[in-house]
Amino acid sequence: MMDFPQAVLFCCDHNAVRSPMAEAMMKKFYGQRAYVQSAGCKNDMEIDGFSIAVCAEIGVELSRHRARSFEEMETHGEDLGQFDLIIALSPASQHAALDLTKTYHLAVEYWPIIDPTALGETREAKLAAYRQARDQIKERVIARFGPPSLA
C-alpha cells in the first residue's frame, strides 16, 4: 500500500454507475483526507438509479452526483495533472486514462469491477448485480486505502 494520495480520480465508461460509487465511498470513508473526483470516457447518461439505491443501503449518498467526462473536466479547467492517482474501473477508461496522462507523472491503477448494467432481468436481479459491483468497489477501496476513518 502506497502513501495515502492527496488527489484521486476514479473513472469508468459513463460516470453513471461504478466511478460515482467509488468517489462517494471514498469521500464517506476518508472525508477530507484526499480530493476525490470521478469522470467517464463519455458523459451520455445520468447517475443510475440502481447505483443510488444500493449505495443508500450502506449510507452513501449518490443522488446529487452529476455525470461528467474527461473532456468536460478539461473544459472546466480541471487538469488531470492535479491528481496523483487515477483508478480506472473499466478497460475503456483505463485506456483513456493512460492515453490522457502520457505527459504526467502519476499512477494509473486498473480495478476490474463488473459492469452491472447489462445483468439481471428483474428488479431484484438487477439490484443483486449492482450490490456485487458496489461490494467489489468497497473491498478494493478499503484494501487500497485502509480502514475507513469516518464511516
Q: What is the mean pLDDT of residues 134-144?
A: 96
Q: What is the mean pLDDT of residues 77-86?
A: 87
Q: Classify residue 150: in a domain, yes or no.
A: no
Q: Classify residue 89: in a domain, yes or no.
A: yes
Structure confidence at residue 150 (pLDDT): 66
- Residue 105: which domain range? 7-145
Angle between helices 18-30 and 49-56 (to 10 degrees): 30
Q: What is the DSSP string of 64-111?
A: T----BHHHHHHTT--GGG-SEEEESSHHHHHHHHHHTTTS--EEEE-
For residue 1, pLDDT beyond 80: no
pTM: 0.93
Q: Classify residue 116: in a domain, yes or no.
A: yes
Number of independent structural domains in the chain: 1
**Cell numbers that stand for 124 in this block:** 431484484
Q: Classify residue 2: in a domain, yes or no.
A: no
Q: Classify residue 151: in a domain, yes or no.
A: no
Q: Classify residue 105: in a domain, yes or no.
A: yes
Q: What is the pLDDT of residues 25-73, one digit of tens each?
A: 999 999 989 999 999 998 777 888 999 999 999 999 998 888 899 899 8
Q: Classify residue 1: in a domain, yes or no.
A: no
Q: Classify residue 66: in a domain, yes or no.
A: yes
CATH number of the domain within which 76 lies:
3.40.50.2300
Cα(40)–Cα(71) distance, rounded to whole angstroms?
Answer: 9
Q: Which one, of 40, 9, 16, 26, lies nearest residue 130 by Cα?
A: 16
107 - beta bridge partners? 85
Extract the runs of DSSP E, i.e. beta strands, from 13-83.
35-40
For residue 2, pLDDT beyond 60: no
Name the pairing type of β-strands 107-110 and 35-40.
unpaired
Instruction: Give the pLDDT band (50/70/90) at residue 124.
Output: very high
